[in-house]
């Protein structure tokens, strides 16, 4: 990642990833962790904090376990909140087109997306 110009990693996974985080920091990468599950609707404020971390991180690598569910949620939100995309276009291009499916693993991802955009100012 460093060789590709990535400056920051936003890690959405839970569990113990200390070895990876240590290795990334040793290479000079900024690592920010926001572990959450796609099983439950996530609060808007938490998701906005993640989008803000992506926005302020230079070249950022965002990832979860598979890279299509939680990652797609954050990237689609970024497209709407930062880049000004229409929500339906962002969801299609950044989630559905990358393979997001609501069942069986992450049923609340799309509901989190809708909830985060419902009360945006």
Q: CA–CA separation, 11 vs 65, rounded Å?
A: 9
Q: CA–CA separation, 22 vs 57, rounded Å?
A: 18
Q: CA–CA separation, 24 vs 113, rounded Å?
A: 29
Q: Using the predicted structure, report yes or no on whether residue 6 has a pLDDT greater than 90.
A: yes
Secondary structure (3-state) at 6? coil
Q: Which residue has the tokens 């200390």?
A: 18
Prediction pTM value: 0.93
Q: CA–CA separation, 22 vs 113, rounded Å?
A: 31
Q: Which residue has the tokens 């569990």?
A: 15
Specify the pLDDT at position 112: 95
Specify the pLDDT at position 121: 58
First-to-last alpha carbon distance for the chain, in angstroms, is 34
Q: CA–CA separation, 33 vs 12, rounded Å?
A: 6
Give residue-wise pLDDT tens across range 35-87: 999 899 999 999 999 999 999 989 999 999 888 899 999 999 999 999 999 99
Specify the pLDDT at position 56: 93
- The residues that bridge with 10 in the sheet, in sequence order, are 32, 62
Kindly state the tokens that stand for 100: 């997001």
């Amino acid at each position: 990642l460093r060789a590709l110009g990535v400056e920051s990693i936003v890690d959405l996974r839970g569990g113990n990833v200390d070895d990876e985080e240590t290795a990334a920091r040793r290479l000079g990468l900024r690592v920010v962790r926001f572990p959450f599950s796609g099983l439950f609707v996530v609060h808007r404020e938490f998701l906005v904090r993640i989008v803000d971390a992506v926005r302020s991180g230079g070249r950022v690598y965002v990832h979860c376990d598979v890279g299509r569910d939680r990652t797609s949620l954050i990237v689609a939100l970024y497209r709407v909140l930062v880049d000004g995309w229409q929500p339906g276009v962002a969801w299609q291009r950044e989630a559905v087109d990358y393979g997001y499916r609501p069942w069986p693993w992450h049923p609340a991802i799309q509901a989190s997306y809708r909830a985060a955009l419902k009360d945006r100012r």
